[in-house]
Amino acid sequence: MTEKQGLLPSAVSAPAPRSRASSPYWATLSKVAVAALLLKVFGGAYLALDSPGYGGQEPLKARCDQAEPLSPSFSRDHLDKMAGYIDSPEFLKAAVANMAGAVQIPTESYDDMGPVGEDPRWEVLFEFAEYLKKTFPLVHSKLNLETVNTHGLVYTWKGSDSSLKPTVFMAHQDVVPVAKATIGQWTYPPFSGHYDGKYLWGRGSNDCKNNLIGILESVELLLQADYEPKRTLVLSFGFDEEISGFHGAQPLAAFLLERYGKDGAAVIVDEGAGIAEAWGTNFAIPGVAEKGYIDVEIILRMPGGHSSIPPQHNGIGVMAELITQIEANPYESRLYKENPFLGLLQCGAEYSEEFPKKLRKLLPSHAANTCARKEDKLALEAAKLGDAFKYLFTTSQAPDIISGGVKSNALPERTVVLVNHRVNVGEQTSVVKDKLTKIAHGIAKKYKLDVHAFTNSTGETPSSITLRDTGRALEPAPVTPTELFSTEGSDNATLSPYGVIAGTTRALYGKSMVVAPGIMTGNTDTKYYWDLSRHIFRWGPQFDPEEESGSGLPEGIHTVNERLNVRAHINGVKWYSSFIRNMDESRLP
């Protein structure tokens, strides 16, 4: 990249710092907390953004480079009419009807679902597939539709240039179940798809049937406008993301990997982070990283007996002490250089007047030269912003399930707890295993117990503590490249996939929008797609500029009163259709 930097000064712009009367911190990031990274440094010889030198520091140069707004250059009457139609009352009415119909089909997925074809709860997906066929007739007549493991849907819109790698859009058909006890708490019934003039209410309206329907809307509209893609477009829709994607996303990813090969896709866009306000500035934060994951089962075996003659500590008491030790020793907050959150801090310092002064002073002037000690100080200070921030750069631990004992007058002989961990970017699941093993040995020594820590043997022994990985461990995801420009497959630098995403977003929402790559604390279906592309983005492009900015989280996700801002949804349709065309016009391979 260095030798090409001076060639491209016109392709980058710096949004002016802006201030708003708002909280200096995000309101909340809770379950799908997202934060972000700015663009990587390109070097002062290429670009030096005009920014003040805070706290006596030298100015942060080229820290938050922003792509110029990117709109498709090729146009004709049909495409111009399409753009006008998307803003019309007629399309609003159609979009509401299409979303409502999708929400009204309760495609709930449950943790105890049996195999596809055996468990009847999967069969509602046949109804959903038929609904899509009826609602988007051109998609189903012009694109090639294939099914994987019965309910996985792969649509292929073949491009005219077979040498170009495809664009892949992802979404999932399933939704989180609605607990019967909560139905009365909903403003409108959870599967009604009720539209109140601004919001469309119902389970799945924001996670993530809005993405799925929005993608299909954009393709249907492009087909109506007689658009012919240059680059193949693939739509890959799983059906069990809410229960980890074993039946849907995993075989879908294998199917596409066999067809296109390793790194065979130019870009993958799935559900994920959106647009949020931080420090008085709106940030678009497509997720470029995900934390790792590991569940550890701890089994404590101790002698039983009659509870009328109990020992000083029985199995439940000892397990309680072990859990207390786990919670008393949380993981250290640590900002590794590859963690995208470091970039958000730099980006906030660049463009947000309300950015905390102490954080600004702790930021390194050159991220590439940051020492571990300074990063730790920065992480400790950033952690004070609250848990929604802290867990973007801290491994989390949570004892979630516990059981022990079988009878009120019998001492427990076997007590089990499951501890969930989300592993910090820059660390590995082995860090979790080492820590738990150390704690287990301390408790075992006190109570004269044996320890079996992560051995291949599944057997337990009396008077012991056994630690087991449940088999679902996942290392932190590879971090998607976030340079604006790429020389991949070309002698000359061109906008990278990240650059196309950023430029498309700023064309839609304006130059005041700061784009900064984000990090996901949870895991999406993309965890199975790592080999298909280096350029994976977890991104929700839906945004209503007239809505008061918040955390960037979907409304009511995974809880009561899930709802969708329909204007934001329509903007999402605009984004998908523009991105398809921008990728066609890019010089990426």
Q: Of the candidates 173, 181, 53, which has an alpha carbon nearest to the alpha carbon of residue 123?
A: 173
What is the residue-wise DSSP string for 532-569? T-S-EEEE-----TTSPP--SPPBTTTSTT-EEEHHHH
Cα 122 to chain centroid, rounded = 25
Give per-residue burial for 350-359: e unless 16+ CB within 10 Å, then b: bbbebbbeeb
Distance (Å, whole) CA 519 – CA 287? 5
**Other CB atoms within 10 A of residue 134 CB:** 10
Contacts (Cβ under 8 Å, ≥6 apart) of 580: 167, 218, 219, 222, 229, 233
Distance (Å, whole) CA 32 – CA 525? 14
Going from the C-alpha of 184 to that of each of 178, 559, 560, 561, the distances in angstroms are: 11, 13, 9, 11
- H helices of 402-510, in order, are 429-447, 497-509
Going from the C-alpha of 276 to that of each of 100, 342, 344, 392, 481, the distances in angstroms are: 26, 17, 12, 15, 22
544 is in an annotated binding site: no
Which amino acid, one-letter code, is at 443? I
Distance (Å, whole) CA 474 – CA 248? 18
112 is in an annotated binding site: no
Distance (Å, whole) CA 28 – CA 552? 9
Strand 66-67 with 12-13, pairing: antiparallel
421 is in an annotated binding site: no
Q: Of the candidates 486, 570, 545, 556, which has an alpha carbon nearest to the alpha carbon of residue 202?
A: 556
- H helices of 54-106, in order, are 77-86, 89-103
161 is in an annotated binding site: no
Active-site positions?
174, 241
Question: Binding site, residues?
Answer: 172, 207, 242, 270, 558
Question: Binding site for Zn(2+), residues?
Answer: 172, 207, 242, 270, 558
